[in-house]
């Protein structure tokens, strides 16, 4: 300033207020059986504390319990005060369902049973789509065939999604040990009657055969049997053991019509002559005329 004026000064005090930092948005993936989680720990960066949490516009807290709280977007908000704008970040929470392989089950079957699905023998309500392994740890189809598969514990596993653990259950298969019956050796009879002789262990049994064969007692393993005519018949001894398992064996019985001789004679024309005749017709037995031998004898 020119004389006689003096210089003058003024000061402006500027306060820079740091903006609130809610951190960066984050994601939290939990299994349905997980414990309570702090949503604040899922925010990215270094968020300032003291903010407020909301879900769907409603005030909530920072502790998320997957057994109670709903999944979705949780918003963390910080007030900017008088000068700074409010700011917020979001945590997206997803809850994965816990896999369910059901509970351990079992099946006791007979050796002659048809193939069946092991899944139907698990307890509870198992999730479909899992995998099976056999008692030796090899991959298994899940369909048990007693004719070729080994008895034992079969493991069913449902894979857990994301952070959830796998779930497993076993189906234990027992195949009853059975003793096959013996119907007996084949029989060749010279008449129309035979006596059968089956052996073994069973709870019940019965004989069966063609209609022209009659059993005196079809439930008796040692029953006599009679045929209406000669011929070969296959007879079957079918049994059921104490576990309800079935078994059967058969034999062949060759029945023979009894030999019947019908004779005829023609006397000599003159007394003392040797021109008489004697004949015989044979029926029954096995084979035809060429299969028989004859011998006359006189007294």
For the purposes of burial, counting CB atoms within 10 Å of the CB of 181, is it exposed (0-12), middle (13-18) or buried (19 or more)?
Answer: buried
Angle at 250 between CA 245 and CA 251, to 5 degrees: 160
Residue 83's pLDDT is: 86
The answer to whether 133 and 154 have CB atoms below 8 angstroms apart is yes
pLDDT at 41 over 90: yes
Q: What are the domain boundaries of the chain?
A: 26-96, 105-175, 187-255, 260-291
Domain range 187-255, CATH class: mainly beta
CA dist 145 → 9, 113, 228 (Å) = 102, 8, 43
Architecture of domain 105-175: Sandwich (2.60)
Tens of pLDDT along 219-251? Answer: 999 999 999 999 999 999 999 999 999 999 999
Residue 82's pLDDT is: 84
Domain 26-96 and domain 187-255 have a common topology: yes
pLDDT at 149 over 90: yes
Q: pTM for the whole thing?
A: 0.69
The answer to whether 115 and 107 have CB atoms below 8 angstroms apart is no
**What would the CATH number be for the domain defined by 26-96?**
2.60.40
Question: Residue 14 — very low, low, confident or very high, per pLDDT cuts 50/70/90?
Answer: confident
């Amino acid at each position: 300033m020119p004389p006689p004026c003096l210089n003058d000064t003024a000061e402006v005090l500027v306060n820079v207020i740091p903006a609130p930092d809610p951190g960066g948005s984050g994601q939290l993936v939990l299994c349905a059986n997980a414990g309570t989680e702090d949503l604040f720990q899922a925010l990215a960066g270094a968020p300032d504390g003291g903010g407020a949490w909301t879900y769907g516009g409603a005030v909530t807290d920072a502790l998320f319990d997957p057994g109670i709280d709903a999944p979705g977007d949780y918003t963390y908000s910080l007030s900017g005060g008088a000068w700074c704008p409010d700011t917020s970040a979001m945590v997206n929470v997803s809850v994965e369902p816990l896999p369910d392989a059901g509970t351990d089950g079992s099946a006791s079957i007979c050796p002659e049973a048809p193939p069946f699905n092991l899944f139907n023998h698990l307890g509870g309500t198992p999730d479909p789509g899992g995998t099976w392994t056999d008692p030796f740890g090899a991959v298994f189809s899940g369909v048990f065939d007693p004719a070729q598969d080994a008895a034992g514990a079969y493991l069913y596993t449902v894979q857990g999604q994301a952070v959830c653990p796998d779930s497993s259950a076993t189906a234990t298969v027992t195949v009853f040990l059975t003793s096959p019956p013996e119907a007996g050796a084949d029989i060749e009879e010279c008449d129309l009657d035979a006596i059968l002789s089956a052996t073994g262990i069973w709870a019940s049994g019965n004989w069966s055969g063609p209609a022209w064969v009659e059993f005196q007692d079809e439930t008796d393993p040692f029953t006599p049997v009679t045929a209406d005519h000669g011929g070969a018949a296959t007879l079957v001894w079918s049994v059921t053991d104490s576990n309800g398992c079935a078994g059967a064996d058969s034999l062949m019985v060759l029945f023979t019509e009894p030999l019947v001789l019908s004779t005829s004679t023609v006397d000599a024309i003159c007394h003392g002559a040797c021109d008489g005749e004697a004949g015989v017709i044979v029926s029954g037995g096995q084979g035809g005329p060429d299969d028989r031998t004859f011998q006359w004898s006189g007294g």
